[in-house]
């Protein structure tokens, strides 16, 4: 019976390797999005090369189109980054630590993923940035036809500012639990 239990637990533990399909898939999706963003940048530069030769109306149209395309490229790069972080995070959580990453200074900036909560937090911040870029892109193309449109735009900007504040407040503020006890919250003392 002990041998059967050992075999079952071994196969159960090794079933985590199914995550490799998500790791590879996310990595390939990220590469594909980086490729598309790079191609978009090349075409954008080629179109902008004759910017000075255009008439005023055509130059204005090209300028507006270029700004919109740049925002789309930033959006694509952020999405590719999400896929890359997701891929690396899943690998580190379920398969193994990436040995080369732990000797690198860059890994401390992006691969501090010790739990699913760490991974979700990293992804949530990048997804929030994608939403901000998407709102910016839509705001560029928005036609303000009524005063309420301006109010909606201002409200969305205020909500984004609040979301940014709330996502970054724990990094710069008191550690959880310090403010609840009163003393030490301002001085940073540990209890």
For residue 188, being part of any structural domain is answered with no
Q: Above pLDDT 90, what percent of the chain?
A: 13
For residue 151, being part of any structural domain is answered with no
With beta carbons less than 8 A apart as the criterion, state whether 87 and 26 touch: yes
Angle, CA 108 vertex, CA 104 and CA 113 arms, to 5°: 120
Tens digit of each residue's pLDDT (9 = 90 or more) over 67-99: 888 888 988 898 898 888 889 888 888 888 777
Tens digit of each residue's pLDDT (9 = 90 or more) over 88-144: 888 888 888 777 766 666 665 666 667 777 777 777 777 888 888 888 877 877 788
Cβ-proximal residues to 150 (8 Å cutoff; 6+ apart), any chain: 144
- Residue 156 CA to residue 142 CA, distance in Å, equals 13
Domain range enclosing 64: 2-141
pLDDT over threshold 70, residue 36 = yes
> How many independent structural domains does the chain possess?
1
For residue 11, being part of any structural domain is answered with yes
**Where in the chain does DSSP place strands (E)?**
none
For residue 179, being part of any structural domain is answered with no
**Number of Cβ within a 10 Å radius of residue 76:** 20
The mean pLDDT value of the chain amounts to 79
pLDDT over threshold 50, residue 57 = yes
Instruction: Average the pLDDT over 56-61 and give the result.
Output: 86
For residue 116, being part of any structural domain is answered with yes
For residue 187, being part of any structural domain is answered with no
Angle, CA 152 vertex, CA 169 and CA 61 arms, to 5°: 105
Sign of the C-alpha dihedral computed for residues 28, 15, 111 and 161 taken in this order: positive
- Of 115 and 177, the structure prediction assigns the larger pLDDT to 115
């Amino acid at each position: 019976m002990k041998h059967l239990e050992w075999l079952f637990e071994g196969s159960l533990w090794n079933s985590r390797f199914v995550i490799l399909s998500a790791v590879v898939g996310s990595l390939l999706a990220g590469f594909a999005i980086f490729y598309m963003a790079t191609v978009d940048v090349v075409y954008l530069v080629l179109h902008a090369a004759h910017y000075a030769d255009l008439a005023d109306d055509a130059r204005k149209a090209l300028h507006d189109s270029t700004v919109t395309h740049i925002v789309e490229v930033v959006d694509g790069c952020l999405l590719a980054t999400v896929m890359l972080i997701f891929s690396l995070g899943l690998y580190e959580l379920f398969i193994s630590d990436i040995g080369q990453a732990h000797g690198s200074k860059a890994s401390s900036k992006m691969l501090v993923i010790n739990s699913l909560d760490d991974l979700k937090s990293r992804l949530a911040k990048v997804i929030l940035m994608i939403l901000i870029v998407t709102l910016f892109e839509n705001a560029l193309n928005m036609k303000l036809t009524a005063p309420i449109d301006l109010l909606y735009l201002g409200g969305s900007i205020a909500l984004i500012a609040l979301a940014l504040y709330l996502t970054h407040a724990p990094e710069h503020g008191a550690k959880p639990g310090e403010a609840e006890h009163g003393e030490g919250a301002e001085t940073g003392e540990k209890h």
